[in-house]
Structure 1
Amino acid sequence: MDAYLPADVHFAWVGDDIVTLDARNDAYLCLVGAATVVRDRQGGRLEILDPGVFDLLRDAGLAQGEPDPAPRRIALRPQACLSPFEASDGDGLGFVLSGLRSSRRYHGRAFLDLIDEVRGLERPTESAASSTALSQCVAAYRAGLPWIPRQGVCLHRSFMLVCFLAERGVAADWVFGVRTWPFAAHCWAQVGPLVVGDDLHKVARYTPILVV
């Protein structure tokens, strides 16, 4: 039978398991072995082989019988990492000022509010930034980041970077990924298949679950 993901509920298929993210409550779950009975049909559509499983997912608020009209974005597979050392100079002060502004919008906010904040950014539909311009943005991020207080988690750092890139006219995705055994979640900025401000080898260990 067909079923659909509710708004702000996201699934990632990791081996035989499914990891769920309920962005409304900032809650992850691992459904062990669920990939054998719940298949991904893209765009938030599910194929469920056991009707009893649908009942369980529906009662948990993780599935519904009608599609959500909002389109869902899909992350491109990361293929390369943009190094800040490719640029001779970066505007570290510019990032500090941007990071302090976005930090005021970050602290004390619910997870779904942060997602809505990024969704509301004025980002071009396509980024025309050159590799050199992107490298300068990342160099500025690396140089200015130590001057931003309370930025020890990837959620805060990548939020600041996506906001900074939007200010510079760069269309960057905010990508969230998960892994299992042991479970971990991570988020990063990505421009097309290019990982920005993070390590490709680290990011490649995660399966994307949400793209903003």
Structure 2
Amino acid sequence: MNDAGLFAADVGGQIVFLNVARNRYLAVAREILAPFLVQENERGRFTPAEIDRAATALRQVGWPTAHVKSAPLPLTSHIQATRSLELSPLKPTRLADPRAALSLLRAARRLKRRQLAEIVGSRLAHRSKIACLTSPARVIERSLAFAAWRPLASDKDRCLCDSLALSMYLGRDGKDVDWVFGVSAPFFLAHCWLQMGDLVLNDSIEHTRQYAPIMIV
């Protein structure tokens, strides 16, 4: 991400941009942006005309560009998930915590009242203030307890509501838990989930692998 709150991901033959402030996605053909993805092509350096074409495309999505020569475009990457709690044989050691239901209600209300950029900024600030390290066992236990209440998640933007609610429920235990936003192509879709290392907490591996990470919160 840069200071403008922009993210980018390489999805097949497209570079997809996310403007958090506007909560908007936009895809640009990869070949157009080639000069800003690599320094050289098979002929050597890209021509000034090619670089200008790429810079124009980037300006249209609000991305700051280099002045006179190509520069690699920072693309979002993340640890690929290899495990999921959906396949875990573990079960909660106590009754499902009703505070999880409260987190779902709070998350739905927050999504109605606040912009995505504000929610993202708040979470980043919260994570930066947590000094203690995450206990993986506790994160797993709490995520499993939360799962019992998942059917209450709002139908609108369900993955957003579910992930935000679980993040709020984990609280300080979520220090090392990433909120991953992903996009897919060629038929554009957006999705999000929570992940701790290579472990998906609230989705399946098969589903999350259909999306390329574009923003990690």
TM-score, length basis structure 1: 0.78
List gaps (5 residues or longer) in structure 1: 42-46, 67-71
Measure the CA separation in 2 of the matches of 1:31 and 1:169.
34
Which secondary structure does the structure 2 equivalent of 1:87 belong to?
coil
Given the alignment, which residue of 128, 134, 137 partners 1:128? 134
* Per-residue deviation, 1:149: 5.2
Tell me what 1:201 maps to: 206
Measure the CA separation in 2 of the matches of 1:97 and 1:58.
42
Coordinate RMSD, CA, aligned: 3.1
Are the equivalent residues in 2 in contact too, given 1:11–1:19 (CA < 8 A)? yes
Amino acid at match of 1:62: W
Given the alignment, which residue of 3, 6, 9 partners 1:9? 6
Instruction: Name which of structure 1's ranges 153-162 and 202-211 shifts more when overlaid on structure 2.
Output: 153-162
Number of equivalenced pairs: 199
| 1:13-162 aligned within 5 A | 13-34=10-31, 36-39=34-37, 50-65=51-66, 74-83=77-86, 85-90=89-94, 91-122=96-127, 124=130, 127-131=133-137, 133-148=138-153, 153-162=158-167
- CA deviation vs aligned residue, 1:119-152 (integer Å, no higher than 9, x gap): 1224646743133x23321222111223455565
- CA deviation vs aligned residue, 1:24-50 (integer Å, no higher than 9, x gap): 111111112335343179xxxxx9862
- Report sequence identity in percent: 25
TM-score, length basis structure 2: 0.76
Amino acid at match of 2:81: P
- CA deviation vs aligned residue, 1:79-121 (integer Å, no higher than 9, x gap): 2112465124353312112333343333221111121121122
Instruction: Name which of structure 1's ranges 77-86 and 112-121 shifts more when overlaid on structure 2.
Output: 77-86
Q: Radius of gyration: which is bigger?
A: 2
* CA pair 121-150 structure 1, distance change in 2 beyond 3 A: farther
Q: Runs of 4 or more off by more than 6 Å in structure 1? A: none
Tell me what 2:178 maps to: 173
Are the equivalent residues in 1 in contact too, given 2:143–2:201 (CA < 8 A)? yes
* CA pair 130-10 structure 1, distance change in 2 beyond 3 A: closer
List gaps (5 residues or longer) in structure 2: 40-44, 68-74
Are the equivalent residues in 1 in contact too, given 2:84–2:203 (CA < 8 A)? yes
